[in-house]
Structure 1
Amino acid sequence: MMNFDLNEHPHRRYNPLSGEYVLVSPHRMKRPWQGQVEKKDETVRPKYDPKCYLCPGNERAGGEKNPQYESTYVFTNDFAALKEDVPSGSIEKGNLIRAQSEKGICKVICFSPRHDLTLPQMETTAIVKVIELWQKEYEELGSHPEINYVQIFENKGQMMGCSNPHPHGQIWAQSTVPLEPAVVGKHQGDYLQKYGNSLLADYIQLEQEEQERIVLENEHFITLVPFWAVWPFETMLISKRHIQNILQFTEEEKQAYAEMLKQLTILYDNLFETSFPYSAGIHQAPTDGLEHKEWHFHHHFYPPLLRSATVKKFMVGYEMLGDPQRDITAESSAERLRSLPSVHYKDA
């Protein structure tokens, strides 16, 4: 009788942060690819684009003019999904129709005045300034009595719906904790109560023992392809120290975090020699005034590319109706990322 093999046989992997499962079908990687294959986009962007509404000195879509900023720059989104001046109210009809008003603040963070840069091409010192701005906004927005969660994230590339290539991210702060961090927080809390340890601290220890899915590691952070990853080259960057939010970083941790963000995004770009698209964001404790010892700081990267610079993974069919599914295993994804050069392909 055959023995079950994670690298050969279909199986479901459990995500302890969400309670969900992903179907893994490693045998499907042996099938021939007959789908779309295109060459990568080699568009060269200028350092300054007079038509870009995020470049220094330019007029934004909402009519405001950007200052001649020389480092990072933050402003309230001109077309925000959430607003502060929303009247309190709710609607409820029977047991099935329910809605309530939601207050919030949405901001845009420009990582650099340079239109042609992305995180992997920025200096580490410049990335530290981005982290410091994340800290400042997390603290200031979280101090508002009506703000209970601050979501810091970045959408990079047209493939991820990013309408402007200028290096930037967003912050959405709102009165309720959104579904994803609420679920992740609950599972971390349940684990802490049951075992007395941080879920992610125990997970880091397990990964360090197995040495199969770790991509990068330094004194303060570890980046790995989680065992339960859904996207082909999904990674999670985790603080080794059990801290709840970005304000608790030491100066050494802040520097190590910046270095790892640069190293990881270089590996992504080098994978298919393209400016690698992704959605990425920080998961950390709510700002509701509670201690939240269960939370352990981590940063998710969800990149869509599967086989080349243009061939992406779609969530379709069974994945929309059943469970997420992937063919390439987390172990093989981690191995591919680890094997890539540490110097950006444009600088090699």
Structure 2
Amino acid sequence: MFDPAQHSHRRLNLLTGEWLLVSPHRALRPWQGQQEKTEPAQRPAHDPTCYLCPGNVRAGGQQNPDYAGTFVFDNDFAALLPDVPAGGLNVDGLLRAEAETGVGRVICFSPRHDLTLPEMSPAAIRGVIDVWVDEYQALGARPDINYVQIFENKGAIMGCSNPHPHGQIWAQRSLPMEPAKESTQQAAYFREHGRSLLADYLATELREQQRIVLENEHWVALVPFWAVWPFETLLLPRRHVTDIAQLTDAEKDAFADALRRLTTRYDNLFELSFPYSAGLHQRPTDGQPHEGWHLHMHFYPPLLRSATVRKFMVGYEMLGNPQRDITPEWAAGRLRGLSETHYKLG
């Protein structure tokens, strides 16, 4: 009899319509051997050489204010610019390019150089969420912006060039590929059923209780059934809201609580500051209702067994489709069993 915990199989990603291969027989006993820990030296609360710390000078001579909470500014090296000339390229319909405009913003989560999200208070994290709301609304109201991507890269192996706690916003004219796939899937489901795809999916996950990591009154963190990365998670509001601006104060407080608890579990997994790329996916800002959209946050961490063992997308995954060895159910159980007291305080 087929057993998904033992036999190779494919799983469908409801949000993208894409498949991945799961091969649990390759890692029936994945937790073997010494778990190496690689922690950098303790960082100071203020680093005079850090271009994100309060009062310090950034590129081009801009000086940061002596901020006490969050601090937001235009990225000094933004990948998207608002003043790109219109135009493009089309050769035989085969070589195509088009100008893309947008804005890049940086959000410093805290004036403290030595903190990360799990080490911040719920009130301080709530301050970050409030900034996300303000930026989503302000950038999304611009006629030249149709999508606002809020994200955080944490850790040097995720391309983060500065350990100061911060995230980014890339807001642009066109809809990027990943949100575009999710928009198509969610819209189709809503047209057919009149309900949110992710609301129905969450109801199934809550009934099964196999992949839930943590819950509070308004949010649920889980390892999605179709997870690609070893300890990938999806953070979902219980209520169907299309964007972060629709959250109530209670839901924002609960969001801060869930973020702190989830990222603390990540750090406790290998007892180190856990790297990941994380970001919000929400309704495009093109003026359309997008009723099927359901706000959610993805966490994509690369570590598999320790600080030095990580997952790479190579070979079959680059040429065929994504593949994983440990099952999402196993990963959820591992995360669920971790303490919510940060290992530095234990």
Going from structure 1 to structure 2, the CA distance change for 1:258 and 1:33 (only over 3 Å counts) comes to closer
| CA distance in 2: counterparts of 1:272 and 1:10, whole angstroms | 27
Contact 2:132 2:150 in 1 (8 A): yes
Normalised by the length of structure 1, the TM-score is 0.97
Aligned to 2:220: 222
| CA distance in 1: counterparts of 2:122 and 2:223, whole angstroms | 23
Going from structure 1 to structure 2, the CA distance change for 1:27 and 1:178 (only over 3 Å counts) comes to same
- The correspondence for 2:172, drawn from 171, 174, 179, is 174
The one-letter amino acid paired with 1:261 is L
Do residues 246 (structure 1) and 244 (structure 2) align? yes
CA-to-aligned-CA distance 1:23-54 (integer Å, 9 cap, x gap): 11101114789999743224210000011000
Contact 1:225 1:334 in 2 (8 A): yes
Normalised by the length of structure 2, the TM-score is 0.98
- The correspondence for 1:213, drawn from 211, 214, 219, is 211
Aligned to 2:280: 282
Going from structure 1 to structure 2, the CA distance change for 1:32 and 1:215 (only over 3 Å counts) comes to closer
CA-to-aligned-CA distance 1:181-211 (integer Å, 9 cap, x gap): 0110010000111122110000011001100
Stretch of structure 1 that moved more, 32-41 or 71-80:
32-41
Aligned to 1:186: 184
The one-letter amino acid paired with 2:307 is A
Aligned to 1:255: 253
Contact 1:62 1:79 in 2 (8 A): no
The alignment yields a C-alpha RMSD, in angstroms, of 1.4
Contact 1:36 1:311 in 2 (8 A): no
The one-letter amino acid paired with 2:69 is S
Going from structure 1 to structure 2, the CA distance change for 1:32 and 1:211 (only over 3 Å counts) comes to closer
Contact 2:303 2:309 in 1 (8 A): yes
The one-letter amino acid paired with 1:210 is E
CA-to-aligned-CA distance 1:3-30 (integer Å, 9 cap, x gap): 0000000001100100111111101114
CA-to-aligned-CA distance 1:311-346 (integer Å, 9 cap, x gap): 110001111000111001000000000000110000
Aligned to 2:89: 91
List runs of 5+ in structure 1 lacking aligned partners: none
Aligned to 1:146: 144
| CA distance in 2: counterparts of 1:51 and 1:312, whole angstroms | 30
Aligned to 1:63: 61
Contact 2:267 2:343 in 1 (8 A): yes
Going from structure 1 to structure 2, the CA distance change for 1:33 and 1:341 (only over 3 Å counts) comes to closer
Aligned to 1:301: 299
Going from structure 1 to structure 2, the CA distance change for 1:226 and 1:34 (only over 3 Å counts) comes to closer
List runs of 5+ in structure 2 lacking aligned partners: none
Contact 2:35 2:270 in 1 (8 A): no
The one-letter amino acid paired with 1:162 is C
Contact 2:6 2:24 in 1 (8 A): yes
Count of residues in correspondence between the two structures: 346
| CA distance in 1: counterparts of 2:60 and 2:169, whole angstroms | 18
| CA distance in 2: counterparts of 1:15 and 1:30, whole angstroms | 23
The one-letter amino acid paired with 1:111 is F
Identity of aligned residues (%): 63
Following superposition, which runs of at least 4 residues in structure 1 exceed 2 angstroms of deviation?
30-39
Aligned to 1:40: 38
| CA distance in 1: counterparts of 2:107 and 2:157, whole angstroms | 20
| CA distance in 1: counterparts of 2:201 and 2:269, whole angstroms | 26
CA-to-aligned-CA distance 1:101-155 (integer Å, 9 cap, x gap): 0110000000000000000000000000000000000011011101000000000
Contact 1:149 1:287 in 2 (8 A): yes
The one-letter amino acid paired with 1:114 is R
| CA distance in 1: counterparts of 2:265 and 2:34, whole angstroms | 23
- The correspondence for 2:198, drawn from 191, 197, 200, is 200
| CA distance in 2: counterparts of 1:241 and 1:220, whole angstroms | 7
The one-letter amino acid paired with 2:264 is I
